[in-house]
């Protein structure tokens, strides 16, 4: 399980959007990028991908920006990650499958492992992450006192 910059940036950005979700006003790329120290031109690409996947909506023009397309508790981490990571290939998923029985069996186990990981990502929502962070913050405060 590699944690790519892409996925982490996307999650950080969506977390930021989740924090301001109640305001019903769009957040600009610049603000998100500044808050989470993400290169803005790169974040733009990621948000474009998330928009095409229907996870965020964009508003163009002055006072525009991005808003979550759904409530933060209705967006799972799996949706985010597979939107951002799995863009590349669908046309030939079977291209390398049929090589040998060994190859087939290996791919089956791999698939099982992948589904186990996906299950974890699916049970967490953006809301869950934000709450996790908040309670962590409170713990830090307690230690400080």
Partner DNA sequence: AGCAAACTCCGGTGGAGAACCGGGATATAC
Partner DNA sequence: GTATATCCCGGTTCTCCACCGGAGTTTGCT
Q: Dig out the tokens for 15 from the structure.
A: 């977390």
User: Does the protein bind DNA through residue 35 (CB under 7 A)?
Assistant: no
Q: Tell me how far apart the alpha carbons of residues 28 and 35 are, in angstroms, rounded to a whole number.
A: 11
Q: Tell me how far apart the alpha carbons of residues 137 and 88 are, in angstroms, rounded to a whole number.
A: 37
Which residues of this protein are in contact with its own copies, per CB under 8 A? 1, 3, 8, 11-12, 15, 36-37, 77, 99-114, 116-121, 124, 129, 132-133, 136-137
When binding is defined by CB under 7 A, the residue of 12, 15, 65, 79 that contacts DNA is: 65
Q: Tell me how far apart the alpha carbons of residues 7 and 82 are, in angstroms, rounded to a whole number.
A: 9
Determine contact, residues 11/124, Cβ cutoff 8 Å: no
- Nearer Cβ to its own copies, position 5 or 64? 5
The residues of the shown chain that bind DNA, judged by CB under 7 A, are 4-6, 9, 28-30, 39-42, 44-45, 47-48, 51, 58-66, 85, 88-89
């Amino acid at each position: 399980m590699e944690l790519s910059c892409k996925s982490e940036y996307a999650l950080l950005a969506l977390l930021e959007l989740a924090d301001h979700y109640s305001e019903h006003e769009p957040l600009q790329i610049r603000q998100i990028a500044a808050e989470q120290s993400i290169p803005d031109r790169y974040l733009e690409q990621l948000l474009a991908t998330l928009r095409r996947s229907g996870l965020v909506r964009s508003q163009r023009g002055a006072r525009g920006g991005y808003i979550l397309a759904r409530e933060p508790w209705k967006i799972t981490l799996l949706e985010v990650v597979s939107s951002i990571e799995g863009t590349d290939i669908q046309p030939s998923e079977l291209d390398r499958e049929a090589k040998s029985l060994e190859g087939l069996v290996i791919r089956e186990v791999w698939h099982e492992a992948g589904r186990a990981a996906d299950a974890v990502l699916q049970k967490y929502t953006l809301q869950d992450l934000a709450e996790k962070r908040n309670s962590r913050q409170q713990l830090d405060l307690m230690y400080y006192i």
